[in-house]
């Protein structure tokens, strides 16, 4: 797990707080606890800050209102909510009436917690990708957003030479000789990049056609970039490339 996540723990039993913190520190060190609440007043303060990616939430705080009642009063809470409770009776109500990512019964066990964290990561990754696509769609078509571990870098399309597939990752090769690796597959960028500029010449490469110096048809098809690098063109892509270049 590489993504840094921030979490709140809402729990009236301080021993349970320490147990959860110890499990997270040992098995999920990239989850940082940035706030704790043992009563509704403290919970409200955390919700007003609204800084967490995850809220580990006990339902009963030994007060008139439950934590779910408090949560219901707030809008625009972006955090994923994981219920931690010793009572099964709240599970169905919580899942039906609230946007809950998962429900963990106490005492907590590492296997259930592990499954929940993996589910959280997938959901948060999808949420990040959706936001990135929305951001990209709102841009002028002259730049692309490349997400890193801590920042999203904005790169001009004219600075990109080609993209290279590396398993589930994609490497952006830039005109200045640097490269940037993104944890998204190259197919995502094939759909996202302008089709009048970028062409997938191979299962491994997407080419910025404006950065191509020449295309050779001897000894197998390949193209030569303006920086002198050669890239192969897959046989099944040759005909489409000809049409792309208005050669047929």
Task: State whether 169 and 58 are in the same domain.
Answer: no
Tally of domains in the chain: 2
Task: State whether 124 and 158 are in the same domain.
Answer: no
Task: State whether 223 and 163 are in the same domain.
Answer: yes
Task: State whether 127 and 147 are in the same domain.
Answer: no
Task: State whether 150 and 89 are in the same domain.
Answer: no
Please indicate, yes or no, if residue 114 is contained in any of the structural domains.
yes
Please indicate, yes or no, if residue 201 is contained in any of the structural domains.
yes
Task: State whether 124 and 153 are in the same domain.
Answer: no
If one counts every other C-beta atom within 10 angstroms of the C-beta of residue 84, the result is 24
Please indicate, yes or no, if residue 137 is contained in any of the structural domains.
no
Q: Are strands 222-225 and 212-216 parallel, antiparallel or unpaired?
A: antiparallel
Task: State whether 123 and 23 are in the same domain.
Answer: yes
Task: State whether 119 and 176 are in the same domain.
Answer: no
pLDDT at position 1: 44
Q: Which residues contact 246 (CB under 8 A, 6 or more apart)?
A: none
Please indicate, yes or no, if residue 209 is contained in any of the structural domains.
yes
Range of the domain at 188: 143-244
Asked which of 132, 163, 185 is the last residue of a domain, the reply is 132
Task: State whether 128 and 151 are in the same domain.
Answer: no
Q: In the numeric block, which tokens belong to residue 208?
A: 């910025």
Task: State whether 9 and 122 are in the same domain.
Answer: yes
Task: State whether 155 and 86 are in the same domain.
Answer: no
If one counts every other C-beta atom within 10 angstroms of the C-beta of residue 57, the result is 28
Q: Are strands 54-57 and 5-10 parallel, antiparallel or unpaired?
A: parallel
Asked which of 106, 132, 158 is the last residue of a domain, the reply is 132
Task: State whether 124 and 175 are in the same domain.
Answer: no
Q: Are strands 80-85 and 143-147 parallel, antiparallel or unpaired?
A: unpaired
Angstrom CA distances, 88 to 11, 85, 96, 146, stand at 17, 8, 14, 43
Domain CATH for 82: 3.40.50.2300
Q: In the numeric block, which tokens belong to residue 32?
A: 């940082």
Q: In the numeric block, which tokens belong to residue 163?
A: 């993209």
For the entire predicted model, the pTM comes to 0.55
Contact 172, 163 (CB under 8 A): yes
Angle at 46 between CA 32 and CA 18, to 5 degrees: 45
Asked which of 83, 104, 132 is the last residue of a domain, the reply is 132
Quote the DSSP letter at residue 93: H
Q: Which residues of the chain have pLDDT under 50?
A: 1, 138
pLDDT at position 139: 52
What DSSP line would sit under 23-76, residue for residue?
HHHHH-TTEEEEEEESSHHHHHHHHHH---SEEEE-S--SSSS-HHHHHHT---
Domain CATH for 161: 2.40.50.1020
């Amino acid at each position: 797990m590489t993504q840094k996540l921030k979490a709140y723990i809402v729990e009236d039993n301080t021993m349970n707080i320490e147990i959860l913190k110890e499990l997270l520190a040992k098995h999920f060190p990239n989850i940082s606890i940035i706030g704790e609440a043992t009563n509704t007043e403290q919970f409200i303060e955390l919700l007003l800050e609204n800084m967490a990616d995850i809220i580990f939430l006990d339902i009963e705080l030994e007060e008139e209102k439950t934590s779910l009642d408090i949560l219901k009063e707030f809008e625009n809470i972006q955090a994923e909510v994981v219920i931690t409770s010793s009572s099964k009776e709240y599970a169905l109500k919580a899942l039906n009436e609230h946007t809950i990512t998962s429900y963990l019964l106490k005492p907590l066990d590492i296997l259930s917690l592990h499954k929940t964290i993996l589910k959280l990561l997938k959901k948060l990754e999808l949420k990040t990708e959706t936001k990135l696509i929305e951001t990209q769609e709102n841009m002028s078509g002259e730049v692309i957003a490349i997400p890193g571990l801590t920042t999203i870098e904005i790169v001009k399309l004219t600075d990109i030479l080609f993209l290279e597939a590396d398993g589930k990752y994609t490497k952006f090769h830039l005109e200045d000789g640097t490269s940037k690796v993104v944890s998204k597959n190259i197919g995502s960028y094939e759909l996202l990049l302008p089709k009048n500029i970028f062409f997938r010449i191979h299962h491994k490469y997407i080419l910025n056609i404006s950065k191509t110096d020449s295309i050779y048809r001897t000894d197998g098809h390949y193209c030569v970039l303006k920086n002198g690098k050669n890239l192969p063109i897959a046989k099944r892509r040759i005909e489409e490339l000809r049409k792309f270049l208005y050669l047929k």
